[in-house]
Structure 1
Amino acid sequence: MSPIIIYIGAFAAAVLTLMTGFGVGTVLTPIFTFFFEVQIAILMVAVIHFSNNLFKLYLFRKHIDKAIIMKFGILSIIGAFVGAFLQVYMQSHALKVFLGIALIILAGREFIPSKKEFQLPKSIDAIGGFASGLLGGLVGNQGAVRSAYLLNYNISKDAFIASGTLIACFVDATRIPLYIYNYGDKLSSHWLFIGGVVATAYIGTLIGKRVVTYLPLKAFKKIVAGVIILMGIVLIVS
């Protein structure tokens, strides 16, 4: 597999994440694992994810819903710390299997037959906040869980994007220092490559901001979810 797929994935994921609330980590993490050890892949994607989220937060900063942040964000931070700590004690193969299963489950919800958007009960929001952070810290995929919970709230699309992005920044700021402490010495030869992927994601974010209100989401999300499920299967059997 050519590394060019990483740049293509970063661009597509950055466009996708503005419409779904997740994408960059979910798409890039399995791609990076084809080229790097799992823990290093998660660290590199985390840096890219955080950089892109800061840019996205700047674009949507006026639409943050503070009530959502207080109710959901704090537990996400705790979950991220626990997940990042536990990652050190998991073997690479176990991480691949866990990540594959998580991707299949999270993407598979797009194919659940229903006349309305899949929603989770508000009574377990605390679990959702912690779980999204835990999954983010452990395997780098937090957004799909978070988005499933944020769908329960009657907020605008801009508020959905802004609030989810700020929570993601909290999670990234919690887990990245732990990752760097454990694996940072292995990044020294990859910063230029990471910078290129970040720049590609920025371009995707700018384009995504322009098309977010025009592109039909239903079929597009199913295609993306199908690709993510295939990636999850490959990770499990590889």
Structure 2
Amino acid sequence: MELVLIGIAALLASGLTLFSGSGLGTIPMPIFALFFPLPLAIAATAVVHFADDLFKFDLMARQANWSVIVRCAVPGAIMAILGAGSLTFFDQLPLLWHYTIAGTDLETTAVRAVIGSLIVLFALLELSPRV
């Protein structure tokens, strides 16, 4: 049942973000993180991004401005590699906090703190007025 929920969330997120071009990482990633370890949830989100990009490429490749694509894709690929490397780095750091709430043992790692902070930051940026 979890895999069905994850698939539906990924499909809906892809459909919702087809025209806006943003939000595909922020919608399914927290859902994936409920069922998988955080690095795997981020990797699964990357797979959804890749599949969505292939679909968009198929729909819009004939009308694309290839010079713009190259200028965006090369730095994007470099940043994706650096992001994956930093994810690996943060995932290997020791626990930051270990605590208990309502009898449940919980822990916060560096990668969870960084990803959670980024999600909150991006949500706040979305709520801020545009200039």
Q: Which TM-score band (shorter chain)? A: 0.7 to 0.9
| Equivalent position of 1:104 in the other structure | 120
Give, in angstroms, the shift of residue 73 of structure 1: 2.2
4+ runs deviating over 3 angstroms? none
* Cα distance change, pair 111–86 in 1 and its aligned pair in 2 (3 A): closer
Q: Give me the whole-angstrom Cα distance separating, in 1, the residues matched to 2:129 and 2:48.
A: 34
| Equivalent position of 1:70 in the other structure | 70
Give, in angstroms, the shift of residue 70 of structure 1: 3.2
Give, in angstroms, the shift of residue 35 of structure 1: 0.7
Q: Give me the whole-angstrom Cα distance separating, in 2, the residues matched to 1:111 and 1:62.
A: 35
Q: Give me the whole-angstrom Cα distance separating, in 1, the residues matched to 2:36 and 2:81.
A: 23
Higher relative contact order (CA 8 A, sep 6+): 1
**Correspondence list, 1:147-162, <5 A:** none
| Equivalent position of 1:52 in the other structure | 52
Equivalent pairs: percent with the same residue?
32
Q: Give me the whole-angstrom Cα distance separating, in 1, the residues matched to 2:128 and 2:121.
A: 11
Q: Counterpart of 1:75 in 2: which secondary structure? A: helix
Give the conservation status (yes or no) of the 8 Å contact 2:17–2:24: yes
What is the RMSD computed on CA atoms of the aligned residues? 2.1
Q: Give me the whole-angstrom Cα distance separating, in 2, the residues matched to 1:17 and 1:69.
A: 19
Give the conservation status (yes or no) of the 8 Å contact 1:32–1:41: yes
| Equivalent position of 1:40 in the other structure | 40
| Equivalent position of 1:212 in the other structure | none
TM-score with structure 2 setting the length: 0.73
| Equivalent position of 2:111 in the other structure | 95
More strand per residue: 2
What is the aligned length? 114
Q: Give me the whole-angstrom Cα distance separating, in 2, the residues matched to 1:107 and 1:64.
A: 30
For structure 2, the 5+ residue unaligned runs are 93-108
| Equivalent position of 2:104 in the other structure | none
Q: Deviations over 1:108-167 (max 9, x none)?
A: 2232224xxx5xxxxxxxxxxxxxxxxxxxxxxxxxxxxxxxxxxxxxxxxxxxxxxxxx
Give the conservation status (yes or no) of the 8 Å contact 2:39–2:91: no
| Equivalent position of 1:26 in the other structure | 26
**Correspondence list, 1:61-210, <5 A:** 61-91=61-91, 93-114=109-130
TM-score with structure 1 setting the length: 0.43
Give the conservation status (yes or no) of the 8 Å contact 1:16–1:22: no
